[in-house]
Amino acid sequence: MGIKELETGLNTIIEGNKGWMEFVKNDNTGRFQQLAKGQNPEILWIGCADSRVPANELTGTKPGEVFVHRNIANMCVHSDMSMLSVLDYAVNVLKVKHIIVAGHYGCGGVAASISRKQYGIIDNWLSHIKDVYRLHAEEIDNIEDQEKKADRLVELNVKEQVLNLCTTSIVQNAWSNGADLAIHGMVINIGTGELINQDCTFTSNDSLGKVFQYAK
């Protein structure tokens, strides 16, 4: 790619921003002046880094309404300091009421974790998805169609990441301190735009089993 093409790509963004500035200037509700002072979102969205699944556009929410963390395949890994820091800030400072783990059909990260190819350093990240595959290998391996296989793993992965969130010390402590906090799992169908609730909502650690019941 030549420097001219690079500049054209960047110009698209600069021009797009001019349109946004115009929109902000013409808004007479005062909300952008308010947002400039601080944020008070009620939702934390943990989604895939995929360019096709932007949190605000998909949910009809505006700037200031959703706190967002995205990584490859919307993973909640217990030792991931970036995810933990976002979670801690969202739960303990912003006091969000809902956390949504949002996967999507056609997820490249999930498809890659089913394949037996090596991709490089990302394999270490994909191993976390392979762990979910291992837990549900019997069900996944019984699906013949490669696309359906990956889509089922997308759903199972979302549920597993919801569980991972529930068992973090951050969520456990929030619940034991009486916080109103619900953790949901959803899957996006990019083709239709639908956000499909996976009915795996947790609002306390009561249903997590005795392994995650801590002594008071």
Residues 23-82 that bind Zn ion (CB under 5 A): 48, 50
* Residue with Cβ nearer Zn ion (82 or 169): 82
* Residue with Cβ nearer Zn ion (82 or 176): 82
When binding is defined by CB under 5 A, the residue of 107, 111, 187, 200 that contacts Zn ion is: 107
Beta-sheet strand order (sheet of 182-188): 66-71, 43-48, 98-104, 182-188, 195-197
Region binding Zn ion by CB under 5 A among candidate stretches 10-18, 21-29, 109-117, 148-156: 109-117
Contacts (Cβ under 8 Å, ≥6 apart) of 69: 44, 45, 46, 47, 82, 83, 86, 87
* Residue with Cβ nearer Zn ion (50 or 155): 50
Sign of CA dihedral 192, 115, 185, 140: positive
Q: Quick check: is 166 catalytic?
A: no
Q: Quick check: is 76 catalytic?
A: no
* Residue with Cβ nearer Zn ion (51 or 207): 51
The reply to whether 153 sits near Zn ion by the rule CB under 5 A is no
Question: What are the counts of helices (DSSP H) followed by strands (DSSP E) for the chain?
Answer: 9, 5
- Nearest CA among 45, 83, 79, 74 for reference residue 184: 45
Q: Quick check: is 69 catalytic?
A: no
- Whole-number minimum distance, CB 75 to Zn ion, in Å? 10
- Active-site choice (69, 88, 98, 104): 104
What is the number of residues in the chain?
A: 216
Instruction: Give me 213's structure tokens.
Output: 């019941």
The catalytic residues are 48, 50, 52, 104, 107
Q: Which residues bind Zn ion (CB under 5 A)?
A: 48, 50, 107, 109
